[in-house]
Copies of this chain bind each other. A is one copy, B any other.
């Protein structure tokens, strides 16, 4: 879980996962939309691979990367435990706004 959340704490890595959501891709294809070097992309891919978020294809020439969603499922499961808290705070905001509205002078 540490490795998953650490891997997600970077916008380039999240964008790589978003790209892989539309299908497997080679390192060159993954690097294309980003204005960063191939070695920098490779480092990001290593972090994602270490977290089990991507895997490498067997094709020796192409080695396409594929999204592996199981760690995302575990992370979502952890966050789900807190759903009641964010729902509560939205409820409280709504109550507050209702309250403000009821105090407005009638036209």
Query: Taking beta carbons and an 8 Å cutoff, which residues of A are in contact with B?
Result: 1-6, 8-11, 14, 17-18, 21, 67-70, 72-73, 75-76, 78-83, 85-86, 88-89
Closest chain B residue, CB of each to CB of A73: B86
> Given contacts A6-B9, A8-B78, could you give 14 more A-B pairs where the C-beta distance is less than 8 Å?
A5-B5, A5-B6, A9-B9, A14-B78, A18-B81, A21-B82, A68-B89, A69-B85, A69-B86, A72-B79, A72-B85, A73-B83, A75-B75, A75-B79
Copies, count: 2
> What separation, in Å, do the CA atoms of A85 and B82 have in the docked complex?
22
User: Given A2-B9, A8-B5, A9-B2, do A70 and B89 touch, yes or no (CB 8 Å)?
Assistant: yes
